[in-house]
A = this chain, B = another copy of it.
Amino acid sequence: MELIDKLALKNGRKLLLFVIDGLGGAPRDGKTELENANTPNLNALAKKSILGLTDPVSTGITPGSGPAHLSLFGYDPIKYEIGRGVLEALGVGMELTERDIAVRGNFATMDEKGIIVDRRAGRIPSEKNKKICDILREHIEKIEDVDIIIHPGKEHRFVVLFRGDGLYPNVLETDPQEEGNPPIECKAITEDSEKTARIVREFIKRAKEVLSLPANMVLLRGFAKYPCLSTMGERFKLSPACIATYPMYKGLAKLVGMEVLKTGDTIYDEAETLKRNWNNFDFFYFHVKKTDSLGEDGNFDGKVKLIEKVDGIIPEVLSLSPDVMVVTGDHSTPAVLKAHSWHPNPFLLFSEFVIPDGIESFTERDCAGGGLGRFPSLDVIPLMLAYGLKLKKYGA
């Protein structure tokens, strides 16, 4: 990838990375979600494109959304590991800075002897969670010179940012993981993290003072520092924009220097946003979320229908005449597994310079026979840059 960074050049050509989250599936009665879907527009596009299969991390690895997206954006997901706390903070839409340690929190129930009897405080309603977070915020704004920034999540979950200088994330997690144990005291694992541990202990002490049953304790894990990445602009000479509806994907896009565009909740809103901003950027990341959610719910037919809906907006997107358009998933989410999976992603690249591989539809099986073969997702940006004539020659 360092070579790509060196060779990248700016031109007027426009690249569109169209990501259908969790697109790849697995067969139910012999056919996958994509194979069941009626996708005339994607199939027509496939005829003019070159197809393949991508591995987000490596063979057999099931990736989370973080590493899967980083790879698509041209960032090696093994090298740039984004910690749980940071992903959680991005997921609830928090703004992060390089001075932050982000942490996942649970509200929990502790008995008089200091034993955790319910790690989730009976899964308190999200509404109650918000109120508890308000109380915490009111009482704990700052510890020493560190700002404490709290955001509620769903049910018993919340996120806390410790924002200050000299903070490092190498401390013990306080969540004992199993009920019947006391919380673990937060201690530094490496010397650089002594300050973090001290601030965290004080945070927990003060939180305990203002919390009450059933949510009378906090458990903290996933301590992570906001990573400082070179932007896609710096690396690939792109002006990249993100069109996504869910906070985590916007957060990941921001992490690599994309401008996050305001948009509505539907794919039609997103398409509208793409059109409106077409002249202002030369790289667009367009994210469709719900295919993944339906896959995770095990809703095979719902995922099929959504793929058909997405197929319906393809002509509108193509009417913008992108110079390079990729359609792919970040990872697979087969409804039969109700989870992300290791299956490689169907991948399609359209540009005036492709040698179409003669494949006439866009499914996992078709992509397996595609002209690009099977390759790492990390090669997607190099391919898009190449077909966009945005890479100088290497050597003479």
Interface residues in chain A, defined as those with a beta carbon under 8 Å from any beta carbon in chain B: 3-4, 7, 26-27, 32, 53, 57-68, 77-78, 81-82, 84, 87-88, 334, 336-337, 339-343, 353-358, 364-365, 368-369, 371-375, 379, 382-383, 385-387, 391-396
Contact = CB atoms under 8 A, between A and B. Distances in A.
Contact of A340 (B62, B77, B87, B393): B393
B60 A386 contact: yes
Contacts of A365: 355, 357-358, 371
A394 B353 contact: no
B336 A4 contact: no
Given A27-B355, A353-B26, A353-B336, A395 B77 contact: yes
A392 to B, nearest CB: 8
Given A64-B396, A394-B57, A394-B61, A353 B334 contact: yes
Residue from A61, A84, A343 having most chain B Cβ neighbours under 10 A: A61
21 contacts: A4-B61, A26-B354, A57-B394, A59-B383, A60-B385, A60-B391, A61-B394, A62-B394, A63-B393, A63-B394, A64-B393, A66-B395, A81-B395, A334-B353, A340-B393, A342-B391, A355-B364, A355-B365, A355-B368, A358-B365, A368-B371
Contacts of A336: 353
Nearest to A65: B396
A11 to B, nearest CB: 14
Contacts of A353: 26, 334, 336-337, 341, 343
Q: Which 5 A-B pairs have the closest CB atoms?
A: A60-B382, A60-B386, A64-B395, A368-B371, A67-B395
Residue from A3, A4, A59, A81 having most chain B Cβ neighbours under 10 A: A59
Nearest to A91: B396
A332 to B, nearest CB: 10
Contacts of A374: 372-373, 375
Contacts of A364: 355
Given A59-B386, A62-B394, A84-B396, 6 more contacts: A32-B355, A60-B379, A60-B385, A61-B394, A336-B353, A368-B371
A391 to B, nearest CB: 6
B58 A382 contact: yes
Contacts of A372: 374
B396 A61 contact: no
B3 A393 contact: no
Nearest to A370: B368
Nearest to A81: B395
B386 A342 contact: yes
Contacts of A395: 63-64, 66-68, 77, 81-82, 87
Contact of A382 (B59, B341, B369): B59
A59 B391 contact: no
A3 B342 CA distance: 14
A339 B391 CA distance: 13
A382 B62 CA distance: 11
A339 B337 CA distance: 44
A126 B223 CA distance: 66
Contacts of A68: 395
A245 B393 CA distance: 24
A61 B358 contact: no
